[in-house]
Amino acid sequence: MRIGVLGAARITHGALIAPASRVSGVSVTAIAAREPGRARAAARRHRIPRVHDTYAHLLADESLDAVYIPLPAALHGYWTRAALSAGKHVLVEKPFTANAAEAEQVAAAAAASGLVVMEAHHTTHHPFTARIAEVITSGILGPIESARATFCVPVRPGRDIRWDFGLGGGGLMDVGCYPIRMLRDIFGADPTVDSARASCRGDIDRLMTAQLTFDGVPATVLSSIWSRRLLSARLELRGAHARMRVRWPYHPQQGARLLIDGPGIRVHEKADRRSSYDYQLEAFRDTVERGGLNMTDANAGTATMRTIDQIYQAAGMRLRVPRDASPTGSRENNAAATGSGDDDA
Protein backbone atom coordinates (compact mmCIF):
# COMPACT_ATOMS: atom_id res chain seq x y z
CA MET A 1 0.00 0.00 0.00
CA ARG A 2 1.52 3.31 -1.14
CA ILE A 3 0.64 6.35 0.95
CA GLY A 4 0.97 10.06 0.21
CA VAL A 5 1.03 12.76 2.90
CA LEU A 6 -0.86 16.06 2.76
CA GLY A 7 1.19 18.57 4.73
CA ALA A 8 4.55 18.59 6.46
CA ALA A 9 3.19 18.30 10.00
CA ARG A 10 5.52 17.33 12.81
CA ILE A 11 3.31 14.43 13.92
CA THR A 12 3.90 12.63 10.61
CA HIS A 13 7.16 11.01 11.69
CA GLY A 14 5.82 9.32 14.82
CA ALA A 15 2.36 8.57 13.48
CA LEU A 16 3.24 7.31 10.00
CA ILE A 17 6.88 7.42 8.86
CA ALA A 18 8.38 5.41 11.73
CA PRO A 19 5.51 2.86 11.82
CA ALA A 20 5.78 2.38 8.04
CA SER A 21 9.41 1.33 8.52
CA ARG A 22 8.24 -1.44 10.87
CA VAL A 23 4.93 -2.54 9.29
CA SER A 24 5.16 -4.76 6.24
CA GLY A 25 3.34 -3.97 3.03
CA VAL A 26 3.27 -0.19 3.58
CA SER A 27 5.40 2.57 2.08
CA VAL A 28 5.23 6.37 2.19
CA THR A 29 6.02 7.46 -1.35
CA ALA A 30 4.88 11.08 -1.80
CA ILE A 31 4.33 14.32 0.10
CA ALA A 32 2.93 17.79 -0.61
CA ALA A 33 2.78 20.96 1.45
CA ARG A 34 1.53 24.48 0.88
CA GLU A 35 5.16 25.60 0.79
CA PRO A 36 6.98 23.27 -1.66
CA GLY A 37 10.25 24.00 0.12
CA ARG A 38 8.85 22.58 3.33
CA ALA A 39 7.69 19.47 1.49
CA ARG A 40 11.13 19.01 -0.08
CA ALA A 41 12.78 19.35 3.33
CA ALA A 42 10.43 16.77 4.83
CA ALA A 43 11.02 14.44 1.90
CA ARG A 44 14.80 14.62 2.40
CA ARG A 45 14.46 14.12 6.17
CA HIS A 46 12.13 11.12 5.86
CA ARG A 47 13.46 9.71 2.54
CA ILE A 48 10.16 10.16 0.73
CA PRO A 49 10.86 9.72 -3.00
CA ARG A 50 8.31 12.13 -4.56
CA VAL A 51 7.32 15.72 -3.81
CA HIS A 52 4.21 17.31 -5.31
CA ASP A 53 3.80 21.07 -5.61
CA THR A 54 0.19 21.07 -4.36
CA TYR A 55 -2.23 18.89 -2.45
CA ALA A 56 -4.35 18.57 -5.59
CA HIS A 57 -1.37 17.28 -7.59
CA LEU A 58 -0.68 14.67 -4.92
CA LEU A 59 -4.30 13.50 -4.99
CA ALA A 60 -4.05 13.14 -8.77
CA ASP A 61 -1.03 10.81 -8.40
CA GLU A 62 -2.37 7.50 -9.72
CA SER A 63 0.47 5.54 -8.11
CA LEU A 64 -0.93 6.25 -4.62
CA ASP A 65 -3.43 3.98 -2.91
CA ALA A 66 -4.09 6.14 0.15
CA VAL A 67 -3.37 9.47 1.80
CA TYR A 68 -2.59 10.51 5.36
CA ILE A 69 -4.03 13.89 6.41
CA PRO A 70 -2.30 15.57 9.40
CA LEU A 71 -3.56 19.08 8.58
CA PRO A 72 -5.33 21.36 11.11
CA ALA A 73 -8.74 20.05 12.18
CA ALA A 74 -10.70 22.69 10.26
CA LEU A 75 -9.25 21.28 7.02
CA HIS A 76 -9.80 17.57 7.69
CA GLY A 77 -13.26 17.37 6.17
CA TYR A 78 -12.46 19.25 2.97
CA TRP A 79 -9.37 17.24 2.12
CA THR A 80 -10.88 13.91 3.17
CA ARG A 81 -13.73 14.47 0.73
CA ALA A 82 -11.25 15.58 -1.94
CA ALA A 83 -9.18 12.43 -1.40
CA LEU A 84 -12.26 10.23 -1.71
CA SER A 85 -13.22 11.99 -4.94
CA ALA A 86 -9.72 11.17 -6.22
CA GLY A 87 -10.24 7.49 -5.38
CA LYS A 88 -7.90 7.38 -2.39
CA HIS A 89 -8.34 5.63 0.94
CA VAL A 90 -7.86 8.04 3.86
CA LEU A 91 -6.18 7.97 7.25
CA VAL A 92 -7.10 11.33 8.80
CA GLU A 93 -5.83 12.72 12.07
CA LYS A 94 -8.07 13.34 15.04
CA PRO A 95 -10.27 15.18 15.71
CA PHE A 96 -12.12 13.76 12.72
CA THR A 97 -13.54 17.06 11.43
CA ALA A 98 -14.33 20.58 12.62
CA ASN A 99 -17.79 19.62 13.93
CA ALA A 100 -20.41 16.88 13.82
CA ALA A 101 -22.36 18.26 10.86
CA GLU A 102 -19.22 18.11 8.74
CA ALA A 103 -18.42 14.64 10.09
CA GLU A 104 -21.82 13.43 8.86
CA GLN A 105 -21.03 14.76 5.39
CA VAL A 106 -17.69 12.95 5.37
CA ALA A 107 -19.31 9.72 6.62
CA ALA A 108 -21.87 9.93 3.81
CA ALA A 109 -19.12 10.49 1.24
CA ALA A 110 -17.13 7.57 2.63
CA ALA A 111 -20.14 5.25 2.47
CA ALA A 112 -20.91 6.27 -1.11
CA SER A 113 -17.29 5.84 -2.23
CA GLY A 114 -16.72 2.31 -0.96
CA LEU A 115 -13.26 3.47 0.16
CA VAL A 116 -11.75 3.22 3.63
CA VAL A 117 -11.79 6.28 5.86
CA MET A 118 -10.10 5.77 9.22
CA GLU A 119 -9.76 8.37 11.95
CA ALA A 120 -6.24 8.15 13.37
CA HIS A 121 -7.35 7.45 16.93
CA HIS A 122 -4.44 5.10 17.51
CA THR A 123 -5.31 4.31 21.15
CA THR A 124 -8.33 2.28 20.07
CA HIS A 125 -6.10 -0.10 18.11
CA HIS A 126 -3.70 -0.89 20.97
CA PRO A 127 -4.59 -4.15 22.82
CA PHE A 128 -4.28 -2.33 26.15
CA THR A 129 -7.59 -0.57 25.42
CA ALA A 130 -9.29 -3.93 24.88
CA ARG A 131 -7.73 -5.15 28.12
CA ILE A 132 -9.26 -2.26 30.07
CA ALA A 133 -12.67 -3.05 28.57
CA GLU A 134 -12.16 -6.72 29.44
CA VAL A 135 -11.57 -5.84 33.11
CA ILE A 136 -14.89 -3.99 33.20
CA THR A 137 -16.85 -6.84 31.63
CA SER A 138 -15.12 -9.45 33.82
CA GLY A 139 -16.97 -8.13 36.87
CA ILE A 140 -13.86 -7.94 39.06
CA LEU A 141 -14.62 -4.29 39.83
CA GLY A 142 -18.29 -5.00 40.49
CA PRO A 143 -20.93 -2.69 39.03
CA ILE A 144 -19.17 0.49 37.84
CA GLU A 145 -20.21 3.48 39.95
CA SER A 146 -18.14 6.28 38.40
CA ALA A 147 -15.38 7.07 35.92
CA ARG A 148 -12.89 9.91 35.52
CA ALA A 149 -10.63 10.47 32.51
CA THR A 150 -8.03 13.24 32.38
CA PHE A 151 -5.68 14.45 29.68
CA CYS A 152 -3.73 17.65 30.21
CA VAL A 153 -0.68 18.86 28.27
CA PRO A 154 1.14 22.21 28.39
CA VAL A 155 0.86 24.28 25.20
CA ARG A 156 1.96 27.83 25.90
CA PRO A 157 -0.48 30.38 24.46
CA GLY A 158 0.81 31.88 21.26
CA ARG A 159 0.98 31.06 17.56
CA ASP A 160 0.51 27.30 17.90
CA ILE A 161 -2.52 26.21 15.83
CA ARG A 162 -4.21 24.84 18.94
CA TRP A 163 -4.80 28.46 19.96
CA ASP A 164 -6.37 29.34 16.58
CA PHE A 165 -10.17 29.02 16.51
CA GLY A 166 -10.22 29.36 12.72
CA LEU A 167 -8.05 26.25 12.34
CA GLY A 168 -10.15 24.18 14.74
CA GLY A 169 -8.10 24.82 17.88
CA GLY A 170 -9.03 24.20 21.51
CA GLY A 171 -8.13 21.85 24.32
CA LEU A 172 -11.19 19.65 23.87
CA MET A 173 -10.44 19.26 20.16
CA ASP A 174 -6.75 18.58 20.73
CA VAL A 175 -6.60 16.30 23.77
CA GLY A 176 -10.18 16.01 25.03
CA CYS A 177 -11.04 13.69 22.14
CA TYR A 178 -8.79 11.05 23.72
CA PRO A 179 -10.65 10.51 27.02
CA ILE A 180 -14.02 10.82 25.27
CA ARG A 181 -13.11 8.06 22.83
CA MET A 182 -11.42 5.95 25.53
CA LEU A 183 -14.56 5.93 27.66
CA ARG A 184 -16.68 5.14 24.61
CA ASP A 185 -14.38 2.23 23.73
CA ILE A 186 -14.39 0.66 27.19
CA PHE A 187 -18.10 1.14 27.91
CA GLY A 188 -19.25 0.32 24.38
CA ALA A 189 -21.76 3.16 24.41
CA ASP A 190 -22.13 6.81 23.39
CA PRO A 191 -22.61 9.24 26.29
CA THR A 192 -25.15 11.86 27.16
CA VAL A 193 -23.66 15.23 28.06
CA ASP A 194 -25.00 16.49 31.37
CA SER A 195 -22.97 19.67 31.86
CA ALA A 196 -19.67 21.33 30.97
CA ARG A 197 -17.57 24.22 32.19
CA ALA A 198 -14.73 25.90 30.29
CA SER A 199 -11.92 28.29 31.17
CA CYS A 200 -11.02 30.18 28.01
CA ARG A 201 -8.65 32.56 26.29
CA GLY A 202 -10.91 34.20 23.74
CA ASP A 203 -12.70 31.45 21.81
CA ILE A 204 -10.23 28.76 22.88
CA ASP A 205 -10.93 26.43 25.78
CA ARG A 206 -7.66 26.08 27.65
CA LEU A 207 -9.41 23.93 30.26
CA MET A 208 -12.65 21.97 29.96
CA THR A 209 -14.48 19.87 32.54
CA ALA A 210 -17.48 17.88 31.33
CA GLN A 211 -19.94 15.62 33.13
CA LEU A 212 -21.13 12.73 30.96
CA THR A 213 -23.17 9.58 31.47
CA PHE A 214 -22.21 6.31 29.74
CA ASP A 215 -24.98 3.72 29.93
CA GLY A 216 -25.94 4.89 33.43
CA VAL A 217 -22.37 5.44 34.67
CA PRO A 218 -21.47 9.05 35.58
CA ALA A 219 -18.13 10.11 34.11
CA THR A 220 -15.97 13.22 34.36
CA VAL A 221 -13.76 14.24 31.44
CA LEU A 222 -11.09 16.87 32.09
CA SER A 223 -8.86 18.21 29.33
CA SER A 224 -6.50 21.15 29.14
CA ILE A 225 -3.75 22.69 27.06
CA TRP A 226 -2.86 25.35 29.65
CA SER A 227 -3.74 25.03 33.31
CA ARG A 228 -2.17 24.48 36.73
CA ARG A 229 -2.32 20.75 36.01
CA LEU A 230 0.35 20.90 33.32
CA LEU A 231 0.72 17.23 32.44
CA SER A 232 -1.69 14.44 33.37
CA ALA A 233 -2.98 11.38 31.54
CA ARG A 234 -5.08 9.14 33.75
CA LEU A 235 -8.19 6.98 33.83
CA GLU A 236 -9.96 5.88 37.01
CA LEU A 237 -13.01 3.67 37.42
CA ARG A 238 -14.65 2.96 40.75
CA GLY A 239 -16.71 -0.16 41.12
CA ALA A 240 -18.69 -1.58 44.00
CA HIS A 241 -15.92 -4.13 44.70
CA ALA A 242 -12.69 -2.47 43.57
CA ARG A 243 -11.08 0.53 41.90
CA MET A 244 -9.05 0.52 38.69
CA ARG A 245 -6.48 3.23 37.97
CA VAL A 246 -4.66 3.50 34.65
CA ARG A 247 -1.59 5.64 34.11
CA TRP A 248 -0.98 7.03 30.60
CA PRO A 249 -3.87 5.15 28.95
CA TYR A 250 -3.88 7.13 25.68
CA HIS A 251 -0.31 6.20 24.65
CA PRO A 252 0.14 2.77 26.24
CA GLN A 253 3.59 2.25 24.73
CA GLN A 254 4.92 5.08 26.90
CA GLY A 255 4.76 3.02 30.08
CA ALA A 256 1.04 2.56 30.75
CA ARG A 257 0.17 0.65 33.92
CA LEU A 258 -3.10 -0.74 35.22
CA LEU A 259 -3.68 -1.11 38.96
CA ILE A 260 -6.76 -2.75 40.52
CA ASP A 261 -7.17 -2.59 44.28
CA GLY A 262 -9.95 -3.51 46.68
CA PRO A 263 -10.64 -5.84 49.60
CA GLY A 264 -8.69 -8.98 48.81
CA ILE A 265 -7.95 -7.77 45.26
CA ARG A 266 -4.71 -6.38 43.89
CA VAL A 267 -3.73 -6.54 40.22
CA HIS A 268 -0.82 -4.72 38.57
CA GLU A 269 -0.26 -4.97 34.80
CA LYS A 270 1.98 -3.22 32.30
CA ALA A 271 0.98 -2.42 28.74
CA ASP A 272 2.59 -3.88 25.66
CA ARG A 273 5.35 -1.43 24.66
CA ARG A 274 4.71 -1.85 20.94
CA SER A 275 3.55 1.46 19.48
CA SER A 276 -0.16 2.13 19.12
CA TYR A 277 0.72 3.78 15.80
CA ASP A 278 2.09 0.45 14.53
CA TYR A 279 -1.15 -1.29 15.47
CA GLN A 280 -3.10 1.50 13.78
CA LEU A 281 -1.14 1.31 10.53
CA GLU A 282 -1.55 -2.47 10.45
CA ALA A 283 -5.30 -2.03 10.92
CA PHE A 284 -5.45 0.55 8.13
CA ARG A 285 -3.47 -1.70 5.77
CA ASP A 286 -5.60 -4.74 6.56
CA THR A 287 -8.90 -2.88 6.18
CA VAL A 288 -7.81 -1.46 2.82
CA GLU A 289 -6.53 -4.81 1.52
CA ARG A 290 -9.02 -7.25 3.01
CA GLY A 291 -11.98 -5.27 4.32
CA GLY A 292 -13.52 -6.19 7.64
CA LEU A 293 -13.82 -4.29 10.89
CA ASN A 294 -12.71 -0.64 10.95
CA MET A 295 -12.84 0.31 14.64
CA THR A 296 -12.21 4.01 13.98
CA ASP A 297 -14.32 4.48 10.87
CA ALA A 298 -16.20 7.59 9.80
CA ASN A 299 -19.27 6.67 11.84
CA ALA A 300 -17.20 6.31 15.01
CA GLY A 301 -15.47 9.62 14.27
CA THR A 302 -18.85 11.26 13.79
CA ALA A 303 -20.05 9.95 17.16
CA THR A 304 -17.04 11.51 18.89
CA MET A 305 -17.62 14.82 17.12
CA ARG A 306 -21.24 14.85 18.29
CA THR A 307 -20.05 14.53 21.89
CA ILE A 308 -17.46 17.28 21.39
CA ASP A 309 -20.10 19.60 19.92
CA GLN A 310 -22.50 18.87 22.78
CA ILE A 311 -19.79 19.64 25.34
CA TYR A 312 -18.98 22.95 23.66
CA GLN A 313 -22.67 23.84 23.57
CA ALA A 314 -23.14 22.87 27.23
CA ALA A 315 -20.21 25.14 28.11
CA GLY A 316 -21.79 28.02 26.16
CA MET A 317 -19.10 28.01 23.44
CA ARG A 318 -19.25 28.26 19.66
CA LEU A 319 -18.70 25.18 17.53
CA ARG A 320 -15.64 25.01 15.30
CA VAL A 321 -16.19 25.89 11.64
CA PRO A 322 -14.86 23.93 8.63
CA ARG A 323 -12.61 25.57 6.07
CA ASP A 324 -13.29 24.90 2.40
CA ALA A 325 -9.64 25.02 1.31
CA SER A 326 -6.14 25.68 2.59
CA PRO A 327 -5.75 28.93 4.51
CA THR A 328 -3.28 31.40 3.09
CA GLY A 329 -0.33 33.04 4.72
CA SER A 330 1.74 32.19 7.75
CA ARG A 331 -0.93 30.39 9.77
CA GLU A 332 -0.74 27.19 7.72
CA ASN A 333 3.02 27.51 7.59
CA ASN A 334 2.96 27.44 11.36
CA ALA A 335 0.55 24.49 11.22
CA ALA A 336 3.02 22.55 9.15
CA ALA A 337 5.76 23.31 11.66
CA THR A 338 3.82 22.43 14.80
CA GLY A 339 1.76 19.49 13.60
CA SER A 340 -1.95 18.80 13.50
CA GLY A 341 -2.67 19.95 17.04
CA ASP A 342 -1.66 16.48 18.18
CA ASP A 343 1.87 17.26 19.36
CA ASP A 344 1.45 15.09 22.45
CA ALA A 345 0.81 12.06 20.29
- Among all residues, which ones are annotated catalytic? 94
**Interatomic CA distance for residues 301 and 295, integer angstroms:** 10
| Closest-CA residue to 344 (of 194, 178, 215) | 178
SS3 of 216, please? coil
The amino acid sitting at 295 is M
Phi first, then psi: give them for residue 331, nearest 5 degrees: -65, -40
Contact 117, 92 (CB under 8 A): yes
Q: Which residues contact 272 (CB under 8 A, 6 or more apart)?
A: 126, 127, 128, 252, 253
How crowded is residue 143: how many other Cβ atoms within 10 Å of its Cβ?
10
**Interatomic CA distance for residues 299 and 103, integer angstroms:** 8
